[in-house]
Amino acid sequence: MQIFSALFVFFMLIFAMPSQTMAQQGLEFGLSGGGSYYMGDINLARHFYKTNWNLGGFAKYHLNGRYDVKLGAFYTSLNAADADFNNTFQQIRNREFETSLIEISAQFEINFLPYEIGDMRKYSYTPYLQSGLAVYIANSSQDVINFALPIGFGFKKNIKPQLVLSVEWAFRRTFYDYLDSLSGEDLGNYDPNYGVAIDEASRHQQTGFRYNKDWYSVALVSLSYTFKIGGLGCPAYYDY
């Protein structure tokens, strides 16, 4: 995941370089739905493990044919259990968690190809990259409100002059190691929070991985309605 993050930032910098773009601005409002899953101390590497439904909405401001600003929110739930994995460490630890999660995010999207609202021919589709900052609320965390870094990619297509269908897969790298109620630090530091006595036999037992922050990911399908500032132009241009 660290390598993925580095590559993502590299490509974001490339596509953020100045380029010739269409002077087209507009607004977009939509609904999204799909699946969410967790990766962390319990699920180290299995994508789409215990995927749960999510539902959300968003608004975009199209700066031009290359760049968009997006505000979004969604609700989902996350869960995981050591019993689902075969390694001995997890079988002995035998921990599990479940939480609801609400996210609000502000993101910047960069289109690979020139894209224009309302166009049904040459500029009607594009892959895109996205990143920004998210705030999430999870009832499993000691600190209920935390921050995450969204990084992802997607593809969008105008299916009608004012309707856009898009799909995306994005990761949320949190700045927190307790989304799953597990931490790799000395259990003695968390004695009051666990509510049980920590003896010498268990004091240095590792329950998690201290330097690995938790992640959650979303795969979404979205349908949105667009408003081009200044109108859609001549209807004869569009291919219905």
Please state, as a whole number, how many other Cβ atoms lie within 10 Å of the Cβ of residue 51: 17
Q: 185: Cβ–Cβ under 8 A, 6 or more apart, which residues?
A: 210
What whole-number distance in Å separates Cα of residue 71 and Cα of residue 27? 11
Three-state DSSP state, 117 = coil
pLDDT, greater one: 89 or 219 = 219
75 pLDDT band (50/70/90 cuts)? Answer: very high
Question: Three-class SS of residue 158?
Answer: strand
CATH T-level fold of 2-14+26-237: Porin (2.40.160)
* Structural domain spans, the chain: 2-14+26-237
- Give the pLDDT score at 189: 53
User: Residues 130-153: pLDDT tens digits?
Assistant: 999 999 999 877 777 899 999 999
Question: How remote is the C-alpha of 150 from its chain's centroid?
Answer: 5
123-126: long-range contacts, CB 8 A cutoff, minimum separation 24: 123/22, 123/65, 124/157, 124/158, 125/155, 125/156, 125/157, 125/158, 126/155, 126/156
Of residues 66 and 89, the one with the higher pLDDT is 66
Q: How far apart are CA 131 and CA 172, in angstroms?
A: 10
Predicted confidence at residue 11, as pLDDT, reads 47
- pLDDT at 73 (0 to 100): 97
pLDDT-above-90 percentage for the chain: 54
Cβ–Cβ under 8 Å, residues 43 and 97: no
